[in-house]
């Protein structure tokens, strides 16, 4: 059986549309670059689809494993408590999703964190501002 990866990009969400647009566009960029991967975006608050609605979006896609990745810079309550609870993750950050009646393994990635790529992007934004 061939593995088919699903990525669940998790955003915070906001009453303002820009947050959803950014996270959705990041998910779209991933999908465009990795055409063999199924990418869904879901949100914790004030935006749709919700996390559970995004998970339901994997139905009919044939995914055999899913990685959930928070599109957040740093850990906070959503990252350490809320998302693991919603995804029913074990102490190792793993779990299963039910997709089309099948148990699909789920792994939870960390937030973006401090990274040279992000530092380069921050500097790029500084140059754009000046």
* Separation between Cα atoms, residue 80 and residue 106, nearest integer Å: 16
Of 104, 26, 101, the residue nearest 65 (C-alpha): 104
How many beta carbons lie within 10 A of that of residue 88, not counting itself?
10
How many beta carbons lie within 10 A of that of residue 39, not counting itself?
22
Instruction: For residue 51, give every residue at least 6 positions away whose Cβ sits within 8 Å of its Cβ, in sequence order, or none.
Output: 8, 10, 42, 43, 44, 83, 86, 87
Residues with catalytic roles: 12
Write out the H or E segment, with its range, that includes residue 40.
strand 38-43
- Whether the Cβ atoms of residue 102 and residue 96 lie closer than 8 Å to each other: no
């Amino acid at each position: 059986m061939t593995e088919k990866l699903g990525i669940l990009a998790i955003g915070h969400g906001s009453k303002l549309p820009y947050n959803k647009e950014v996270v959705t566009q990041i998910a779209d960029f991933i999908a465009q670059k990795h055409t063999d991967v199924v990418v869904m975006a879901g949100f914790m608050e004030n935006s749709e689809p919700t996390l559970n609605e995004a998970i339901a979006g994997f139905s009919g896609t044939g995914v055999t494993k899913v990685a959930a990745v928070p599109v957040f810079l740093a850990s906070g309550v959503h990252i350490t408590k809320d998302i693991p609870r919603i995804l029913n993750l074990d102490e190792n950050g793993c779990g299963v999703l039910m997709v089309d009646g099948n148990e699909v393994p789920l792994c939870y990635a960390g937030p973006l964190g401090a990274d040279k790529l992000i530092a380069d992007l921050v500097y790029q934004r500084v140059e754009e501002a000046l």
